[in-house]
Amino acid sequence: MAVRALAHVNLAAIERNVKLLRRTVGPRTEVCAVVKADAYGHGAVAVSRAALGAGAGSLAVATANEAMELRAAGIDAPLLILGAISSEELPAAVASGGTIVVWDTRFVEELRVAALRAGRPLAVHVKLDTGLGRLGTRSLSEAIDVVQAVRAAAPVLALTGAMTHFATADGDLEFAAAQLQRFAPLVERLRALADGERLRFHAANSAGALRLPGARLDMVRAGIAIYGADPMNRDPAEHALEPALALRSYVAAVKQIAPGESTGYGRHFIADRQTHIATIPIGYGDGLPRALVNNCDVLIGGRRYPLRGMVSMDNITVDVGPSAAVAVGELVTLIGLDGPERQTAEQLAQRLGTISYEVLCLISRRVPRSYHRDGEPA
Ligand SMILES: *Cc1c(COP(=O)(O)O)cnc(C)c1O
């Protein structure tokens, strides 16, 4: 095992998760695969290809640069850019041919000028803020003003859909349902206005798609679920989701320490017995937060061992017991399966007081991503 720290990404798991979502939402609802933030740390290009191959109808990213990265890789699927776009980013966003989300008439004008200059028509979706309190117009009438501005800019701009985004689809479903009710009048108004154009209405993220059937509409924007992580930060198996990413390293050294001796910066672990410490060459430079100090397990040889002491930039230390049951070179699993043992991104997230999304996004560029399909080369 030559690689010090490696993220194994099972594209077959991503394909199964996409297919599971497609079955869940039914044939009239498109699955849009959300691949922002480098596909939640999994690698946007490889994940996009796998998701499209499994029947995702479109992709979504957050930024213009993310859109350009996919285009540069030759991915020409329909693409939605979810985030706010600054003037500096506008030329790249327009050049990507992605659908752009609008909620501001001044931005619509900026977009019209940019699209005209680029000599290409642009599709836009209007966004209504129904309770997340982030992006989107606050009221229905403002949304209609934005829609009229888009229609006035035809044929340079074309309205092709409308969206909202849930604050609590992973928790309070009553609030999510109330948001959906606030979205309904916009859907009605636009259907009436649209005279035959086909508009696409969408509201649900992964949690909404799984838990709120009424929110599925024309399309669901599924991120975390396609990676096989649980939007509710529980066990992904509860929704038959299959984690796609395994984070692995190896045992670089094993040494005996005596009672009173310590490991790591700041001496956060002092042995109270004779034991063995294995040093694993993965640390916060690879995306393992320092906050895991004395509060994490790793899997070696199908067994759990506790992390002892501080997380350094490049290493962690693990107590492998008085009899040193592990050897230099053995595989170490931080996230993933090892024999009968399993550690999920959700479990790490719970120790850190965060969600699996953040744990996955933290895995840094220093960690190569290696792709396979159920163990076969991808
Ligand atoms: C990130 C994002 C999603 C995907 O959310 P998941 O919980 O990962 O499914 C959907 N919609 C918008 C607007 C987003 O920003």
Question: Once rounded to an integer, what is the mean pLDDT over residues 312-333?
Answer: 96
If asked whether residues 326 and 354 sit together in one domain, one would say: yes
If asked whether residues 46 and 162 sit together in one domain, one would say: yes
C-alpha to C-alpha distance for 378 and 376, rounded to whole angstroms:
6
Q: Count CB neighbours of 117 within 10 A.
A: 11
Q: Count CB neighbours of 27 within 10 A.
A: 7
pLDDT at residue 42 in the model: 98
Average pLDDT, the chain: 96
If asked whether residues 283 and 323 sit together in one domain, one would say: yes
In a domain, 235, yes or no: no
pLDDT at residue 324 in the model: 82
In a domain, 205, yes or no: yes
If asked whether residues 249 and 366 sit together in one domain, one would say: yes
With cut-offs at 50, 70 and 90, classify the pLDDT of residue 279: very high
C-alpha to C-alpha distance for 118 and 257, rounded to whole angstroms:
66
pLDDT at 1 over 60: no
Question: Once rounded to an integer, what is the mean pLDDT over residues 3-25?
Answer: 97
If asked whether residues 119 and 151 sit together in one domain, one would say: yes
Q: How far is the CA of 300 from the centre of ligand 1 (A)?
A: 34
Q: Which atom of ligand 1 is nearest to the CA of 40?
A: 8
In a domain, 318, yes or no: yes
Would you give the DSSP letter of residue 291? G
Contacts of residue 80, defined as CB under 8 A and 6 or more positions apart, other chains included, come to 32, 58, 59, 60, 61, 98, 99, 101, 125, 221
pLDDT at residue 77 in the model: 98
Q: Nearest to residue 98, comparing CAs of 167, 145, 161, 142?
A: 161
Our mutation pick for probing the ligand 1 site, out of 82, 132, 224, 358, counting the most ligand atoms within 8 A of Cβ, is 82
In a domain, 1, yes or no: no
pLDDT at residue 195 in the model: 66
With cut-offs at 50, 70 and 90, classify the pLDDT of residue 194: confident
Q: How far is the CA of 254 from the centre of ligand 1 (A)?
A: 43
CATH number, domain at 346? 2.40.37.10
Q: Nearest to residue 76, comparing CAs of 51, 93, 59, 53?
A: 59
If asked whether residues 214 and 269 sit together in one domain, one would say: no
pLDDT at residue 188 in the model: 95
Question: Once rounded to an integer, what is the mean pLDDT over residues 294-306?
Answer: 97
Which residue bears the tokens 């693990």?
318
pLDDT (tens digit per residue) in 140-171? 999 999 999 999 999 999 999 999 999 999 99
Our mutation pick for probing the ligand 1 site, out of 32, 34, 212, counting the most ligand atoms within 8 A of Cβ, is 34
In a domain, 156, yes or no: yes
Contacts of residue 252, defined as CB under 8 A and 6 or more positions apart, other chains included, come to 4, 279, 280, 281, 315, 328
Percent of the chain clearing pLDDT 70 (strictly above): 99
If asked whether residues 150 and 16 sit together in one domain, one would say: yes
pLDDT at residue 196 in the model: 62
Question: Once rounded to an integer, what is the mean pLDDT over residues 358-371?
Answer: 98
- Whether the CB-CB separation of 320 and 254 falls below 8 Å is answered with yes
pLDDT at 82 over 90: yes
Could you give the angle at which helices 173-193 and 140-152 cross, rounded to 10 degrees? 40
If asked whether residues 181 and 48 sit together in one domain, one would say: yes
pLDDT at residue 198 in the model: 85
Residue 13, helix vs strand vs coil: helix
If asked whether residues 287 and 223 sit together in one domain, one would say: no
Q: Domain tally for the chain?
A: 2
**Is 357 marked active-site?**
no
Q: Which of 228, 256, 287 is the last residue of a domain?
A: 228
If asked whether residues 186 and 324 sit together in one domain, one would say: no
pLDDT at 336 over 70: yes
pLDDT (tens digit per residue) in 217-262? 999 999 999 999 999 999 999 999 999 999 999 999 999 999 999 9
pLDDT at 312 over 90: yes
Pocket of ligand 1 (CB under 6 A): 34, 36, 82, 165, 205-207, 221-225, 231
In a domain, 238, yes or no: no
**pTM (2 decimals)?**
0.97
Percent of the chain clearing pLDDT 90 (strictly above): 97
Name the region of 228 (left: φ>0; alpha: ψ -120 to 50; beta: rest): left
If asked whether residues 98 and 199 sit together in one domain, one would say: yes
pLDDT at residue 170 in the model: 95
CATH number, domain at 102? 3.20.20.10
pLDDT at residue 2 in the model: 57
Kindly provide the residue ranges of all beta strands, DSSP E only, lying in 179-286, ordered along the sequence.
200-204, 219-222, 245-250, 253-257, 262-263, 269-270, 275-280
Q: Which of 228, 256, 283 is the last residue of a domain?
A: 228
If asked whether residues 126 and 259 sit together in one domain, one would say: no
In a domain, 4, yes or no: no
In a domain, 346, yes or no: yes
Find the domain containing 267 and state its range: 245-377
